[in-house]
Amino acid sequence: MDKEIYELEIENKFLTNLKTLESLIDFFSEDRRPFFELAVERDERTNIYYDTQKKFRLYERGVECRMREKTETKQKIDLKTPQSLDKPKIGPKKNGLMYRREYSYTGTETEPNLTWFSDPDVDHYLSDIFNKQLRAWVQGTFKRWKVTFAPAGNLDSKIEMALERGAFESIESGHSSDEMFFIEFESKDGNVDALLCAIEQFKQKYGNDLILSTRTKGELGLEWLAKSGGIMDSETAENFTAAQEKRQNLYTKHRSADKKLKLSC
C-alpha cells in the first residue's frame, strides 16, 4: 500500500439548487479552454464513510475516514483531521474556509485500519482508539464536474472548482437521502488570498443561490443518517447524540452559529 504524507486541505463548500448547478455545468461545457488551465473533468464518485463500531469516536473528534475506488483493483482511503491536533477546531473560520489535514493511502485493501495512518500527531490524537475496528456507515454517490483555473489578478495560483450532485445512502438499509447540490472551491497551492478572491467574485454573481455549508460531506452523511428515522436502533442513536455533543465543543464560532442547514430524509 502506498502512503502519502499529509496535505493541508483548504476549501470552501456551498449548497445550491439544481437550476444554478445546471447553468454552471452548461457554462463549463462550452469550449472555454483559453480561460482555464485544464479542460473540464467529469466523473462519478462513491465515497464510503467509516467510523468505529458503536460510539462514533472519529466523528466526535472531527475526524473522517473515507474510501473510494481509484482503479478497478485499488482503493483510495483518506483520513481527514482538524488542522491542529493540539487545539482542534471543526468547521469554517470567519472567512468561510475550512482547513483540514488529509492523510491518504492507495492499495488493494477494502477495509480501512487506523494503524495505516500512523503519524506522531495522529497517534497522539487517536491513541485510545487506534486499534478499534471500523464500520462502514453511509455512502455518498455524486456526479462531478471539475475545472482547475487561475483567477484574474492571481495568475500564478491554482484553484479547483467542482460542481456535484448526488445523494447519501445508508449502508445497512439502502435508504437514500434527497438529492443534494454542491459547489466546492479548493486551493491546490495554498494561496488563500487567491481562493478568497475567486469565491468573492463568484458570490457577487450567484450569491442569492448559495448557502455556505459549514459541514463536510462525511459530517452531512452521518448527520443525515442519524436524522432520517428508522435507520439507527435506539442505542446507536443515543451513542451518536453523545458523540455529537462532544463534537460541538470543537466547533468554530462560524460552525456553532449555523442554524440554517436542515436535511430531509
**Per-residue model confidence as pLDDT tens digits over 25-64:** 887 776 654 455 556 788 999 999 999 999 999 999 999 9
The predicted structure's pLDDT at residue 66: 96
- What pLDDT does 233 receive? 85
Query: What is the pLDDT, as a whole number, of residue 69?
Result: 82
Domain spans of the chain? 2-256
pLDDT tens, position by position, 82-125 = 999 999 999 999 999 999 999 999 989 888 999 999 889 999 99
- Percentage of the residues of the chain whose pLDDT score is greater than 90: 69
**DSSP code, position 262:** -
Cα gap 136→47, rounded to integer Å = 10
CA-CA distance, 35 to 161, in Å (whole number)?
Answer: 13
Q: In angstroms, what CA-CA distances link 112 with 96, 100, 116, 117, 219?
A: 31, 19, 8, 10, 18
Residue 23: enclosing H or E segment and its boundaries? helix 18-29
- At residue 263, the pLDDT reads 43
Q: What is the mean pLDDT of residues 192-209?
A: 93
pLDDT of residue 212: 94
Q: Which residue has the higher pLDDT, 4 or 252?
A: 252
Report the SS3 class of residue 154: coil
Which residues, other chains included, contact 186 with Cβ-Cβ below 8 Å and sequence gap of 6+? 9, 10, 11, 12, 159, 160, 162, 195
Closest alpha carbon to 221 in 47, 103, 92, 57: 47
CATH of 2-256, one of 3.40.640.10, 1.10.10.10, 1.20.1070.10, 2.40.320.10: 2.40.320.10
Count CA atoms within 13 Å of residue 75 on its CB side: 15
Contact 103, 122 (CB under 8 A): yes
Instruction: Enter the C-alpha cell of residue 170.
Output: 445508508
> Strand, helix or coil at 170?
strand
Residue 264 clears pLDDT 70, i.e. is over it? no
Query: Which of 13-22, 143-152, 158-167 has the lowest average pLDDT?
Result: 143-152
